[in-house]
Structure 1
């Protein structure tokens, strides 16, 4: 399976060209499935899901002109027969994983059976992640929380860390989770974004220090592209690789 792990979606020509290269054909000839699951733990998650699906935000993903676009809601999959959804996943050219809470997303990827299915998809299928959707592709990842997360089947560990923000030093929980295991590195999205101080350079260094694999901190104009195991950063912005 090929991957395009982004922070803010398809935000520029370089990242869009990388997506087309991974697909091996134009977007308008490709069938995609959109996974909104990660957004639901946030206040207004249902509205956020609709805005993402309808393309009413700055992070382009669903509104790229796909030949067809379906919705794959992971939380309903355990209650229906696999024959009703597995063939659709196998036929898709791209699976589009939206942002939100990566622990919640990874939990439902496992519970739905999708994590086990992904490695068996055809090699030319493309996993496209946005923010949490990119984080959850790793085997092991770490995410920041202000309080213990809910709605998961149990993180591996939780560690308090002090981060620097515009309002001074604040406490964060760095929670380790198990992802889909599609890549042997981790991703920190929204690098150096003014609205995401947890991912500012000094904080990203503390964050990455708790991750036992190489970690790419990428901003919203960057993506990590994986083709047949080869890793490449595509960027019109800023990124940094942290090694354990």
Structure 2
């Protein structure tokens, strides 16, 4: 699977160009499935208006509204109740999966429960575009600072598809978001490399190569 791990969505030309490069074709020729599941687990996101905004492409985070050939909804909490034959072929035929922000641990739990996590290794050409929690779910752990919903395991571990962690929404001094000082404190508790990045930054992962795509601000904290 190819990854475009964003903090705020496809917010600038550089990130959009990186997405097109991963797709290998124009966005207008590509099919997408949006995954709103992370929103249900976070008290500031859903259920309600913000989930509708994400699915309908009316949020402040460009994802669903990029001009896809087609867009469908893949709600992970529903998948265990239906036969795999009804949804696995749909995922296999889709060019890109768009994962909403919200609660990364809740999303991780339902990726495992639904079977999507087990399916991902068999999708080498599919692009995963994460928004905030939708990006953090691919890391080894999110850090206690970001724990809202507590999974049955009780810890903050996530899928570990990549070997680095992410602190999204890095903000300039006095602006809403995570300050650099807060990001440094968070990184001190992460046993591994960790990126803090603002909403104009993304991390592109393809064939084992990790590349920071940014028109904003970011910082790598070494292990």
Question: Structure 1-normalised TM-score?
Answer: 0.86
Residue 152 (structure 1) aligned with residue 151 (structure 2)? yes
CA contact (8 A) 1:224 1:231 kept: yes
Q: Which residue of 1 aligns with 2:106?
A: 104
Higher strand share: 1
Q: Which residue of 1 aligns with 2:162?
A: 183
Task: Choose the corresponding residue for 1:227, options 195, 201, 206.
Answer: 206
CA contact (8 A) 1:119 1:182 kept: no
CA contact (8 A) 1:36 1:97 kept: yes
Q: Which residue of 1 aligns with 2:22?
A: 22
Q: Which secondary structure state, in structure 2, belongs to the residue aligned with residue 217 of structure 1?
A: strand
How far apart in 1 are the matches of 2:206 and 2:45? 35
User: Structure 1 stretches of 5 or more lacking a match?
Assistant: 157-176
Task: Choose the corresponding residue for 1:200, options 179, 185, 192.
Answer: 179
How far apart in 2 are the matches of 1:143 and 1:97? 21
How far apart in 1 are the matches of 2:199 and 2:33? 22
CA contact (8 A) 1:102 1:143 kept: no
Q: Which residue of 2 aligns with 1:65?
A: 67
After superposition, the Cα gap between the structure-2 partners of 1:44 and 1:8, relative to the gap in structure 1 and judged at 3 Å, is: closer
Runs of 4+ in structure 1 deviating by more than 6 angstroms, as ranges, are none
What is the deviation of 1:231? 0.3
Q: Which secondary structure state, in structure 1, belongs to the residue aligned with residue 142 of structure 2?
A: strand
Q: Which residue of 2 aligns with 1:133?
A: 134
How far apart in 2 are the matches of 1:44 and 1:90? 28
User: Structure 2 stretches of 5 or more lacking a match?
Assistant: none
Give the length in aligned residue pairs.
Answer: 219
How far apart in 2 are the matches of 1:80 and 1:151? 26
CA contact (8 A) 1:34 1:97 kept: yes
CA contact (8 A) 2:9 2:199 kept: yes
Output the aligned Cα RMSD: 1.4
Question: Structure 2-normalised TM-score?
Answer: 0.94
Q: Which residue of 2 aligns with 1:174?
A: none
Residue 216 (structure 1) aligned with residue 195 (structure 2)? yes
CA contact (8 A) 2:187 2:194 kept: yes
For the pair shown, which has the larger CA radius of gyration, 1 or 2?
1
How far apart in 2 are the matches of 1:216 and 1:44? 23
Q: Which residue of 2 aligns with 1:40?
A: 40
How far apart in 2 are the matches of 1:66 and 1:150? 32
